[in-house]
Amino acid sequence: MALINKIREKSGIAVTVIAISLILFMVGGDLLGPNSLLGGSNNQVVGEIAGKDIDIKDFQSRVDAFRQNYEAQSGRSLSENELASLRDQAWNQFIVDIAYKKQFDKLGLSVTDQELFDMVQGNHISPSIQQAFSDPTTGRFDKNAVINYLKNLKTLPAEQMKSWANFEKSLREERTRAKYENMLRLSTYIPKAQSEKEYMAQNTKANVKYLYVPYFSIVDTTIKVTDSQLETYLSEHREEYKGTDTRSIEYVTFPVQPAKDDSSALYTEIKELARGLATAKNDSSFASMNTDIPLPINMSLANMSDQLKEAVKTFVPGGVYGPYREGNTYYIYKYGGTRTDTVSSARASHILIRAENQSDSAKAAAKVKAEGILAQIRAGANFEALAATSSADPGSAQRGGDLGYFQNNGAMVKPFEEAVFSATAPGLINRLIESQFGYHIIKVTATKSNTLYHIAAIGKTIEASQATRDEAYRKADEFVNSVKNKEEFDEAVKKNKALVLATANRIPETATNVNAIQNGREIVRWAFKDDSKINSVSPVFETEDQYVVAVLTGKSEADKVTIDDFRDELTTKVRNQIKSEQITAKLKGATGDLETIAKKYGAGALVESATDISLATGFLTSAGFDPIALGKAFGLKPGQKTDVFTGENGVFIMELINKTDAPKIADFTQYKTQLTQSLESRSSYLVNEAIRENAKIKDKRAKFF
């Protein structure tokens, strides 16, 4: 598109040059692409696994085989997302063939022909075979269907025979891998000493009292953190921070917006449709035949746009309303009244606090944080502001936590849905709601309603004419030709008030979107090209409804970690270190009981008690699960206090009131079983991680796709 538009503008160029340009346009992907011979690189390696290079031709050949098999089974072509998924499958297959097979061969693991026969048509049928040959109506597996298929296999087309051979190959690999993982899983061993230690951790109980000064008691803005301090912390904790390859850009867009002539012609058309809709005997059929945007005839509030939600309040049955414009689409509606639905709709906002991992301590810390935020909201803090700064749900956080309307049909996880749809009035739900995603703080903004609105809707989208698209490209091309670096880019943006500068930070190499730009893959590939330097300006990129020009502003490299890669996280760590030093210095040498010490310290010091706690499940009211504090407390004798020390989220002085040792027992089988099952459940994941790490995998697919 871009090259053709340029040719139109340069109409005075000789016919010969135009012909050459068209030839280059048609074959440019082969001759001038980023991995072509003339494009400056003949590197055709798509990745490296265990020291073995994976050639792009071999990789593409496997993807093509997967695609042919998929399309033969589904009877349709793949979407771009499905093709990307097949590329992932092909890549993982190479990892199995190379990295895993090395491990299998060392141990002499294999699947014999007799074993394969048993898996396909014997007594131990593979789940994959059962799925492939189950009756689609009853779901029942039919072994005779497998046998009949194999009897006729040689009469089938070559593609199907090849597909079956690949299927049997995957069955062998699947069984070999299962043998390997089972062997490692069954080699799990928990010694008696470890079982006894687990028993003691669960059953030794203590009552403690403690002084706790949380880090958040000191306002962050009072602590200044320098880059030098961040560098020192990073160098001391280098192993904790793994680098990734990312790029950061700034960009401007040149929207392809329909011109006045484009919209006026459509406006005339939709007014004619409004007259037809008003007199149509079957308004539903008339609407479905004439709309560009299919909409359900019976809508709940959850199905409606914000504009329609407001407008429908004024509708009278039988009336035709509109046109209403939403973006580049005009809508008209014929209203037919309401009825009651079996499904209800409601609207809510939430703040999600997610645990850093699945450990008990991480979950406890997340709960403490969520309870703190809930307490702030109860005290009058702004829900929307806290959602924007604290919620782990980025989509809703940008809207102050708003999730819009949704139905009680499983659209939300069960605990969340039950909490919202049981609310009888709008407002804050005065408790935390826990789901598999974390802890939710919920504000119901519209209670449940089961009203359905009968609305026949016609939506007509304004399409930009070719002249309009050409004009948008001309502006983008003119802009990019006027700038050579970031300084000139910034200056040009300042001069052109119509341009809005946007930023996209830390884009991974595999990204397909750039912020809200849904098909930004070419922008990402440009940013990662070897010859794209910091401050360099991109060519014009064409997306669905706009042209984009970007400037490269930053790079992070997997093998070169800098403080900018983890600035926020490092700043929090260093700031807490400084807070710890300040709190410790103020508490150092304090005497008396904990209440006296807290009083001397002043605001921020808490004195609390915890009863009947254990090392395994000890939970401190304000501090949450803090293994450092628990370990210190259980190491004391009754009546003793620790010195001042730093815990997970603040500074402590622990005092042991009393401790009851676990009763002596002879059989620790129960605890051995618990530890064994826990380790076995993680064995498959740990095996995968170990093999992949040992293979030193370098995935370069993003340079090609």
Tell me what pLDDT residue 309 has.
86
Beta-bridge mates of residue 141: 134
Tell me what pLDDT residue 24 has.
37
Q: Among candidates 517, 491, 508, which has minimal Cα distance to 565?
A: 508
Element (H, E) at 460: strand 438-461
474-501 pLDDT tens trace: 999 999 999 999 999 999 999 998 898 9
Single pTM value for the model:
0.59
| Contact predicate 478/363, CB 8 Å | no
Tell me what pLDDT residue 99 has.
92
- For the chain, which ranges sit under pLDDT 70? 1-42, 73-75, 262, 359, 361
CATH fold of the domain at 353-447: Chitinase A; domain 3 (3.10.50)
Q: What is the length of the chain?
A: 705
CATH 3.10.50 is the classification of domain 205-242+566-660: yes
User: Is the alpha carbon torsion for 255, 261, 266, 271 positive or negative?
Assistant: positive
Q: What is the DSSP string of 211-234?
A: EEEEGGGS-GGG----HHHHHHHH
Phi/psi of residue 129, each to 5°?
-65, -45
Q: Among candidates 113, 327, 244, which has minimal Cα distance to 558?
A: 244
The angle that helices 158-186 and 56-74 make with each other, rounded to 10 degrees, is: 110
User: Is the alpha carbon torsion for 66, 70, 73, 77 positive or negative?
Assistant: negative
Per the listing, tokens 């260093």 go with: 574
Q: Find the Cα–Cα–Cα–Cα dihedral 359, 363, 369, 371, rounded to 10°.
A: -160
Is-cis flag, bond preceding 323, omega within 30?
yes
Tell me what pLDDT residue 463 has.
80
| Contact predicate 429/349, CB 8 Å | no
Buried b / exposed e along 180-206 (16+ C-beta atoms within 10 A): beeebbeeeebeeeebeebbbbbbbbb
User: Is the alpha carbon torsion for 617, 618, 623, 628 positive or negative?
Assistant: negative
CA count, 13 A, side-chain hemisphere, 403: 25
423-474 pLDDT tens trace: 988 999 999 999 988 999 999 998 888 888 999 999 998 887 888 889 999 9
Of the chain, the percentage scoring pLDDT greater than 70 comes to: 93
Task: Please state, in angstroms and rounded to a whole number, the distance separating the CA atoms of residues 398 and 302.
Answer: 20
The DSSP secondary-structure symbol of 189 reads -
Per the listing, tokens 């007014």 go with: 271
Residue 204 Cα distances to 274, 608, 656, angstroms: 77, 21, 13
Task: Please state, in angstroms and rounded to a whole number, the distance separating the CA atoms of residues 142 and 129.
Answer: 10
Tell me what pLDDT residue 181 has.
86
User: How far separated are the first and last CA of the chain, in Å rounded?
Assistant: 20
What token pair was written down for 607?
């004195």
The DSSP secondary-structure symbol of 391 reads -
